[in-house]
């Protein structure tokens, strides 16, 4: 394995990599059928970046998202978060990582339906061992940050889609993660609400230096991303900085709309 | 790199048992009506089992210590031998109803929460904490349901016997036997609810969060 020798030199030379994958493959077995969702993905994401993973549905971007977030195991290859090989972590370390280092936002919000907005936001803090009083103070503060200061005691079903996603954003920030992973965060929202969520994420990225990694096929995301990874057919087809993108943005927009 | 790596990852703390107790109680409370249905399933299963056991114990006691009149009535209803085999058949049947009913109720109540389990894992819940949570919830539901079922089953059957044989069932009431049967039924309800819940909870807790959240039931 030549990677293991070159990897440290590589990471030292560049800006700090917060996420790095090497030869990640994922094969889903469906009965006798084997579906190769990822066919060897190599990529780096640096601390503080706002990354969009773009691609049509079925391209493997959600699978890649799950790999980066340590929510699923690759069939082959390695995922490093903060230069730690995720596969080497035991159950306690993995839970710690998911609890404190990564915040997750999902297309379907995934709030716990029977809990109030505040209870949803404080749950990760309770898992992190924070006292109840402290977590309530912080939870209210976070809900204010996302603009839901007056809806603290509402249950998810009493909130609109955009509001639910805001609760999810607040929950993702509960333990001050270094990375926020968002899987199609605007997928179930209308244009305007979607834009608000994107703005919110951008704001968090700038103010708190949180690394945002977002899987999406929402072109509105392009404006705010530092870099776009285009996934196609289980591979990274293109890796573009925003500056490069500006040049041919009109062309893409024309093609998609 | 290794220095950074070593400081980068900590170990998730295990929450104290009291915290699990608190969360599971709150979860039962906020899901009050749903848990009431689950408890209802256990309740009626155990009530059926207990009523059959009570009737068997009371019949036995009346045959041994009842007045001649009542014994004649009992014998008229069916020979002892035949009644005995019928009783065994009924007890077996009610046990089966219990096993299937309770396991089904618990399986449903856990599997409909797979997504929630996946989400909780994303938020940093340890596998064993999730299992602990569901164990506590199911044990509590099992306990309440079975206790209610034992009381209802016993009262119902005693009342029904009294309507046939007057106050005599009370005078020969086999306290020890009935108490023992009550304990058996309570144990059966508790064990079945915990088993019915633990298996799916354990499976869900072991899954990768991505799989648990994808699972549609």
Question: For residue range B92-101, what is the model confidence (pLDDT) as tens digits?
Answer: 888 888 788 8
**A95, B208: Cβ pair inside 8 Å?**
no
Put simply, the answer to whether B209 touches A98 (Cβ < 8 Å) is yes
What does the DSSP 8-state code read for residue A43?
Answer: E
Three-class DSSP labels, A203-237:
HHHHHHCCEEEEEECCCHHHHHCCEEEEEECCEEE
In a domain, A141, yes or no: yes
Percent of chain A with pLDDT over 90: 56
| A175-201: average pLDDT | 90
In a domain, A40, yes or no: no
More confident residue, A118 or B34: A118
Q: Is A162 exposed, middle or buried (0-12, 13-18, 19+ CB in 10 A)?
A: middle
Closest CA to B120 of B4, B207, B29: B207
B8 or A201, greater pLDDT: A201
A-B C-beta contacts closer than 8 Å: 97
For residue B38, the distance in angstroms to the closest alpha carbon of chain A comes to 17
Query: DSSP string spanning A62-98?
Result: HHHHHHHTTSS--SEEEEEETTEEGGG--HHHHHHII
pLDDT tens digits, residue range A70-100?
999 999 999 999 989 999 999 899 999 999 9
Mean pLDDT, residues B53-64: 87
pLDDT at B154: 94
For testing contact with chain B, the best of A69, A103, A127 (most B CBs within 10 A): A127
Question: What's the pLDDT band for A38 if we cut at 50, 70, 90?
Answer: very high
The residue range of the domain holding A105 is 47-72+88-241
CB contact under 8 A, B8 and A82: yes
Calculate the average pLDDT of chain B.
85
A91 with B4: Cβ contact below 8 A: no
CATH code (residue A122): 3.40.50.300
Residue from B58, B17, B54 nearest B169 by CA: B58
Q: Does B16 touch chain A (CB under 8 A)?
A: no
Asked whether this complex has an ipTM greater than 0.90, the answer is no
Q: State whether A99 and B12 contact (CB < 8 Å).
A: yes
Residue A166 in any domain: the answer is yes
Q: What is the pLDDT confidence band of residue A62, given thresholds at 50, 70 and 90?
A: confident
B-chain residues near A97 (CB < 8 A): 9
Domain count, chain A: 1
Q: How far away is chain B from the Cα of A29, in angstroms, using its nearest Cα?
A: 13
A60, part of any domain: yes
The per-residue pLDDT for range A210-255, each reduced to its tens digit, is: 999 998 888 888 888 999 999 999 999 888 888 777 655 555 544 4
pLDDT (tens digit per residue) in B168-197: 888 888 989 999 999 999 999 999 889 888
Whether A147 is covered by a domain: the verdict is: yes
* Residues of A whose CB is below 8 A from B116: 112-113
């Amino acid at each position: 394995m030549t990677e293991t020798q070159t990897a440290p030199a590589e990471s030292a030379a560049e800006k700090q990599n917060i996420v790095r994958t090497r030869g990640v493959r994922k094969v889903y077995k469906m009965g006798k059928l084997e579906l190769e969702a990822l066919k060897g993905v190599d990529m780096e994401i640096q601390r503080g970046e706002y990354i969009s993973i773009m691609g049509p549905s079925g391209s493997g971007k959600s699978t890649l998202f799950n790999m980066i977030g340590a929510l699923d195991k690759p069939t082959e290859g390695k995922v490093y978060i903060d230069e730690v090989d995720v596969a080497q972590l035991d159950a306690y370390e993995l839970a710690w990582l998911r609890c404190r280092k990564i915040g997750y936002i999902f297309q379907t919000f995934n709030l716990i339906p029977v809990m109030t907005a505040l209870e949803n936001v404080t749950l990760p803090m309770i898992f992190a061992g924070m006292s109840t009083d402290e977590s309530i103070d912080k939870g209210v503060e976070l809900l204010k940050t996302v603009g839901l200061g007056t809806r603290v005691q509402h249950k998810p079903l009493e909130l609109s889609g955009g509001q639910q996603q805001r609760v999810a954003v607040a929950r993702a920030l509960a333990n001050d993660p270094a990375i926020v992973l968002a899987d199609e965060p605007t997928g179930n929202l209308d244009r305007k609400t979607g834009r608000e969520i994107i703005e919110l994420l951008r704001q968090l990225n700038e103010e708190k230096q949180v690394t945002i990694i977002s899987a999406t096929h929402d072109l509105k995301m392009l404006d705010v991303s530092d870099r776009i990874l285009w996934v196609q057919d289980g591979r990274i087809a293109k890796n573009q900085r925003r500056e490069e993108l500006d040049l041919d943005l009109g062309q893409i927009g024309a093609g998609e709309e | 790199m290794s220095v950074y790596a070593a400081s980068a990852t900590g170990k998730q703390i295990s929450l104290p048992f009291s915290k699990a107790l608190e969360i599971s109680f709150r979860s039962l409370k906020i899901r009050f009506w749903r848990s009431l249905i689950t408890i209802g399933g256990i309740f009626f299963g155990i009530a059926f089992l207990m009523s059959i056991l009570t009737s068997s114990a009371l019949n036995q006691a009346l045959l041994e210590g009842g007045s001649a009149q009542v014994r004649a009535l009992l014998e008229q209803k069916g020979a002892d031998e035949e009644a005995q085999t019928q009783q065994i058949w009924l007890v077996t049947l009610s046990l089966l109803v219990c096993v299937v009913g309770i396991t089904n109720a618990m399986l449903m109540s856990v599997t409909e929460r797979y997504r929630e389990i996946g989400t909780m894992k994303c938020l940093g819940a340890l596998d064993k904490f999730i299992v602990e949570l569901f164990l506590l919830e199911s044990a509590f539901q099992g306990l309440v349901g079975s206790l209610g079922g034992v009381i209802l089953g016993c009262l119902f059957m005693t009342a029904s016997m009294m309507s046939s044989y007057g106050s005599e069932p009370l005078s020969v009431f086999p306290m020890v036997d009935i108490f023992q049967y009550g304990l058996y039924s309570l144990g059966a309800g508790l064990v079945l609810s915990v088993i019915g819940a633990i298996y799916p909870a354990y499976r869900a807790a072991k899954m990768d969060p991505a799989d648990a959240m994808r699972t549609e039931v």
